[in-house]
Structure 1
Amino acid sequence: MLFIQTLWQRLGPVASRPSWKELTRSSLGVGLGIALACLLIGLADHFYPHLLFLFAPLGATAVLVFAVPSSPLAQPWNCVVGNTVSALYTLLLLGLFAPLPHIALATLAVAGAVVLMLLLRALHPPGGAVALMMVLAAEQLLPVDWTLLIPVTVLSAAMVIVGVCYHRACGRSYLHHFVLSNKTQRPATRLALSEEDLQQLLQRFDQSYNLTPEDLGDLLAAAEENAIKRRLSSVSCGAVMSANLLTIHVETPLEEVAELFHRHLIKSLPVVDEQGELIGRVLRADLFDWLWQNHHSRQHQTLWKRLRNRSPKGFSTAKDLMRMPEMSVQEDTPMGDLLHDLASHDVQFIAVLRGKVLVGVITRSDVIRTLLALNQ
């Protein structure tokens, strides 16, 4: 029993079970691609009979384009160039060495097609099938009919075009860039790794034809985020927050607000009501923007004079500069739940509440301090 279990683990399926969404999207895409190829053939027959026809490797191309679009083997260059160069090479082989046995022709055709695809960075598994298909049909092909290149190239390109449109409509990424040089490469992820570093990792583990550098970067970034999230899952926001609060009220004079910003290196102040519930925030930048707008008319006055000598209709209290609260969490919320929000939002602080009452704030400095403590 143990032997059978071990054998199954080694020889059984490796890929994870697909979701119903992925299963439906892939099967519909493949069906749509083949159906449109048939329509294109029918349309061409009205003008040039038998110019286009279905060939078996096109089904394999459809599987790659619609089921594994992120694979380098499924990219447009690989699909079109891989199939075309394999067909062209095999036709040349049949034209020059037709007397050779089928075994020799099949060996030379498939092996040579793989070499050419690798050299052109266009490896595409159906390309090997194209080469073998032409050898198996050699008796019907001789003398060589060069028009056979047309259906291979045209239908491969049509499958790619359908794939681009279909994946874009589904909101899925298909087209992947490749690096031309170190000068033109761009960062692939939030990691401290360049695209060249990611490509070297793929080559080190022989995965260059399974993943793109961008895919690898996304996987590493997601793994890193999950690892940090798991480590922070046992730490609550209440344990991380800064409880020594500096707060203001809606009727706090702007003179006092400016004094707080002057004495403390903070970028925003939370606004609370009489019960201590968070109702808004005042940004340091908003206060100084307002002061700057009045600079030309009173440029020789001090900060305090500008505030004291304001007109009755001007800004006077925190209420006039207050913005709505941006983000808040309960104090028992795990810190791991905040990582995505902190990464995707440029927030000054995250308010920590006990019910509706403000009990603390979390800044990026608090998060960094917590991460450093966990790593010690």
Structure 2
Amino acid sequence: MFHSRLEWLNTLKPNFKVLPLKERLLCGLGALLGLALSSFISWWVLGDINAWYIAPMGASSVLLFAVPASPLAQPWNMVVGNIIAGIIGVTCAMYIPNLTEAFSVAVGMSIILMMTTDSLHPPSGAVAITAVLGGEAVHELGYHFIFYPVLLNSMLLLVIAIVFNRLLGKQYPQMAQINQRSKDPTPTQKVTIQPQDIQATLDQQTELLDISEYDLQKIILAAQEKANARGISQFKCQDIMTKDVISLNENEDIHSALDKFKHMNLMSLPVINAQQQLVGTLALYEVVEWFKRATDLRTTWQRQVKDIMVRQVITVKPEQPIQDLVPYFVERSFNYIPVVEKQKMVGIISRADMIAALNQQLNVAA
């Protein structure tokens, strides 16, 4: 009996991924910082106005910091949704005497207009209610309520969310599509599931899904790669990597680095320190950009590779299957990926290495 009740309760739970403890703590920390900083700034700007901060921002912080990939959490949704709800809420408070009727109409109309303008933001429903039930302090503001605190709160919280998510390496706001170079499908999509296939399927859905088409594409492509990998024997990165790696030292002079690029006819090189640890990567175009800025006094201090290199580098481990590398070479056009073990670079895998290995796998499969 107890077991059956437990199973019934499980049917009420969402099919939602539970993040690791570290990620959950970071989400909570982001909301804490976002609300604390934005409320302090609102108080500093608005002074004695009692409505300097509104409760719906707490609901917005859940979306911005816990599920920033949600379409409902995007900047357009938050700003436009809150403005629409604020306008309708204030208008209903002014012209509908009965409070129950006023906030009911305000929320209903807000939902319709937000869905019409593709700006649905659930906390905006609470903004509409706050405009009606916020008391005399809110009613005295009239339509100024839309600008402060609603718009001020929204913009402050949004800016903090963008900075915080970017510091954690999360893409926020979400990009519109996977292929940033062309409107055409990416190379992987051309031979598997294409965006129009996903769009056609979504068009047949009658309910609103809380996932962007962009994220749906990424999930489907990742699943497709895993399914394909089951059918072929996998090389590991250590099997195809080049161990005799040409690299730059972080303290190397930029002119010297350019000579190495010219001599080796390469477009980018990994950068290591004195302990042979990978610390960055430098592309030829970044050296060219440095030469273009050479007369700028603000860049006269840049003399060494470490001054202009990119410090965030995608790396792999020797034991990883090479299928893990395909998205970087195909979707993001990487020239090479460093192989790192115990914080030291032990090799690199170039696009040519990948082509040769995948060709061999195709021949075996045939």
Q: Give the TM-score normalised by structure 1.
A: 0.61
Identity between Structure 1 and Structure 2 (%): 25
Distance (whole Å) between structure 2 residues aligned to residue 171 and residue 349 of structure 1: 28
Partner of 2:358: 364
- Equivalent residue of 2:321, what SS? helix
Mapped pair 1:112 → 2:109: yes
Matches within 5 A, 1:1-376: 1=1, 2-46=3-47, 49-50=48-49, 53-97=52-96, 99=97, 101-137=98-134, 141-142=138-139, 145-149=142-146, 150-178=148-176, 185=183, 187=185, 190-192=188-190, 193-205=193-205, 209-232=209-232, 235=233, 337-341=321-325, 344=329, 345=336, 346-349=350-353, 363-371=357-365, 373=366
Letter in 2 for 1:172: K
Displacement of 1:237 after TM fit? Answer: 5.2
Flag the 1:152–1:209 CA change in 2: closer, same or farther, 3 A: farther
Letter in 2 for 1:340: D
Distance (whole Å) between structure 1 residues aligned to residue 101 and residue 351 of structure 2: 68
- Equivalent residue of 2:40, what SS? helix
Flag the 1:227–1:122 CA change in 2: closer, same or farther, 3 A: same
Letter in 2 for 1:128: G
From the CA coordinates, give the structure whose radius of gyration is larger.
1
CA RMSD of aligned residues (A): 3.5
Displacement of 1:52 after TM fit? Answer: 5.7
Distance (whole Å) between structure 2 residues aligned to residue 168 and residue 237 of structure 1: 34
Displacement of 1:132 after TM fit? Answer: 1.7
Displacement of 1:141 after TM fit? Answer: 4.8
Over 6 Å off, 4+ runs = none
Flag the 1:236–1:86 CA change in 2: closer, same or farther, 3 A: closer
Distance (whole Å) between structure 1 residues aligned to residue 85 and residue 326 of structure 2: 50
Distance (whole Å) between structure 1 residues aligned to residue 234 and residue 157 of structure 2: 51
Distance (whole Å) between structure 1 residues aligned to residue 41 and residue 11 of structure 2: 44
Flag the 1:3–1:81 CA change in 2: closer, same or farther, 3 A: same
Flag the 1:29–1:369 CA change in 2: closer, same or farther, 3 A: same
Displacement of 1:175 after TM fit? Answer: 0.9
The unaligned stretches of length 5 or more in structure 1 are 242-277, 281-289, 291-328, 351-360
Letter in 1 for 2:362: I
CA contact (8 A) 1:82 1:117 kept: yes
CA contact (8 A) 1:113 1:131 kept: yes
Distance (whole Å) between structure 1 residues aligned to residue 226 and residue 109 of structure 2: 44
Displacement of 1:347 after TM fit? Answer: 3.9
Aligned length in residues: 265
- Equivalent residue of 2:231, what SS? helix
Letter in 1 for 2:152: V
CA contact (8 A) 2:50 2:137 kept: no
Distance (whole Å) between structure 1 residues aligned to residue 139 and residue 325 of structure 2: 65
- Equivalent residue of 2:103, what SS? helix
CA contact (8 A) 1:44 1:51 kept: no
CA contact (8 A) 1:94 1:144 kept: no
Distance (whole Å) between structure 1 residues aligned to residue 131 and residue 140 of structure 2: 12
Displacement of 1:230 after TM fit? Answer: 2.9
Displacement of 1:111 after TM fit? Answer: 0.5
Distance (whole Å) between structure 2 residues aligned to residue 229 and residue 220 of structure 1: 14
Displacement of 1:198 after TM fit? Answer: 3.1
Displacement of 1:83 after TM fit? Answer: 1.0
Displacement of 1:142 after TM fit? Answer: 4.8
Distance (whole Å) between structure 2 residues aligned to residue 188 and residue 132 of structure 1: 45
Letter in 1 for 2:128: A
Displacement of 1:55 after TM fit? Answer: 0.7
Flag the 1:365–1:85 CA change in 2: closer, same or farther, 3 A: same
Worse-superposed segment, 153-162 or 87-96: 87-96
- Equivalent residue of 2:102, what SS? helix
Letter in 1 for 2:37: L
- Equivalent residue of 1:190, what SS? helix
CA contact (8 A) 2:46 2:52 kept: no
- Equivalent residue of 1:221, what SS? helix
Partner of 1:307: none
CA contact (8 A) 1:189 1:214 kept: no
The Cα offsets for residues 302-344 of structure 1, whole Å up to 9 and x where unpaired, read as xxxxxxxxxxxxxxxxxxxxxxxxxxx99xx8xx922124553
Letter in 2 for 1:365: N
Worse-superposed segment, 164-173 or 362-371: 362-371
Letter in 1 for 2:164: Y
Displacement of 1:178 after TM fit? Answer: 4.1
Letter in 2 for 1:229: A
CA contact (8 A) 2:86 2:127 kept: yes
Distance (whole Å) between structure 2 residues aligned to residue 227 and residue 151 of structure 1: 50
Flag the 1:107–1:191 CA change in 2: closer, same or farther, 3 A: same
